[in-house]
Structure 1
Amino acid sequence: MPKKIMDGLTKDALDIASSNFNIAAFDLLDQIDKDEEEEVNQPIPRAPRRFIHRDREGIAMRLWNDYFSENPTFPGDYFRRRYRMSRPLFIRICQGIMNYSQEPIPDYFLYFHQKRDATGLLGFNVFQKCTSAIRQLAYGTAPDAFDEYLHMGQQTSYDCLNNFCKSVIHLYGSKYMRKPTPQDVARLISAHAELHGFPGMLGSLDCMYWAWKNCPYKYKGHYTRGGHGYPTIMLEAVASYDLWIWHAYFGPAGSNNDINVLNQSDLFNELLQDTAPPCNFSVSGCNFNKGYYLTDGIYPDWATLVKSFKSPPDRKSAKFKKYQESARKEIERAFGVL
């Protein structure tokens, strides 16, 4: 057969094959479109709701026997280690929440009242709910981290933490989350003079780096220092002999140290405006009306800051350094509690 004829037949066969392929492809696309429309029009099947049986009453009895009965399974030192507070303090907080009676009672107080669910079963009591909140605060864990022990779901644990914080702030905020009154100043001066021999001492001032575990990714570069390698927030605090932290200021983003944070905090605002509570004391026959804070060596030489000697030149200075550093352990203890 001549080559020209063979080439013509081959071309015709390719055209027919290409035409058949296009027809098949269009048919396949049409079928896919029809299948997608049918899937869209069909109702989405709902997954069956899971039910997890949580023995609330049994767990309440076990929690009571473990920590709150007359002869608990775990002694007081175990309670303090796991709750980060003493048993009497925890019970006092629970009683304060349950006994709040000023009308109208906020919803976050009513949340801790034990109720029955739709099936008539008793819900969690105040000890279970406060235990969940305290454990989350003490260990910094997820809401459902103690589900195996407390049998409390994630959302319930989160609600416990949210309402517990609101209740504690409502009950004790005006008493502890404030600056000292004139009566507090007189008490602090008297106590510090008796305990440490420093008349006129208001407390100890220092800063610490607070690790920001859940820092958003876009802020990590602003809050990460080379010395730590992870995001931190700088906390400036003043603590007294009884670990009362009556001043707390978190420094802004950037490379901060104690001096930078001190220059931006509001610690001395009342003193500069001459509205600070009176602080009268006498040392070696000299009368003073402004208190002071014990600090470490990085702070500036201000009249309101008393630092120790870096290299004591004589025995008198060495003795002062010893007593100053001993009294300043209060702020280190406070940071340890945090």
Structure 2
Amino acid sequence: MPTSKWRDDTLRPTAISAIGLRKAYGAEVALDGIDLRVPAGSVFALLGPNGAGKTTAVKILSTLITADAGDLRVGGHDLAVASQAARGTIGVTGQFSAVDGLITGEENMLLMADLCRLPRREGRRVTAELLERFDLTEAAKKPAQSYSGGMKRRLDLAMTLVGAPQIIFLDEPTTGLDPRSRHNMWQVIRGLVAEGATVFLTTQYLEEADELADRIAVLDDGRIAAEGTAEELKRLVPGGHVRLRFAAPTAYRSAAAALRDAAPDDEALTLRLPSDGSQRELRSILDRLDTVGIEADELTVHTPDLDDVFFALTDRGEPHRSHTSKETGR
């Protein structure tokens, strides 16, 4: 489900925008003129295979490297002329931990407070609050190298938040974490957005994007292959259908006569109709049954998942995994 409480993206101010973003390394084009808009107070997920350009996009938008072309604005600041001002609004958690394992968790936090130029007393206050928030108080005095992977990732994100950034870039933040640690990180991200932060997320976990993102863009070979909500993207992929099951043969035959475009299964007493799973299409099917006074004993909606979307949009001739669609029954 979307993380943000907003229903209409057009009502929100823009936190991040890119028009015609381009970056090449010699003859290799990493980003080929992409357009992005991230509303404030939302989670935006950028998906794509390895080498698609996700990390390059994060590095450019977080001012770590410069673009070759494009109109880029972060936190209301034009990156071409005010990158320093933009830096004051953002925090970045990269793919690889910025934690220094030779010093304690608390010392890592205090070092970040110094880098953010917080007064000493303020730095200690913020450090204590964030360590408590991320459940790291008991481990604060221990060397960070002794932390588990999940603890290091929480410390990494806590360090990112020392300067109270309005916009947070998370580049594959849960890579390598066990399922429990990953779900804990999801809760942290939801909490940040609930407090008004904007999160720009790259991830290899399609379930993660489905759970967290208000909007998702699929990046492939340096270009945006598709963008929309998770449900909008799922409707791009064929294969969705509605399955109707009937207990009585007479009801089944009457329904088959009313729904002539359905594929019948006489043995199972089921009908299958192509559908994107939208409320409008479901209502249309049920209305057609109502006109002949028939009610299905079971209705199941089969919809493609984000794995299907990912493979359909980024297919490079590689073998596909065997997968099944998600189902919701009624």
**Do they superpose with TM above 0.5?**
no
Q: TM-score, normalised by structure 1?
A: 0.23
The higher radius of gyration belongs to 1
Which structure's residues are more often strand, by fraction?
Answer: 2
Q: Comparing both chains, which one has the higher relative contact order based on Cα–Cα distances under 8 Å and sequence gaps of 6 or more?
A: 2
TM-score w.r.t. length of structure 2:
0.24
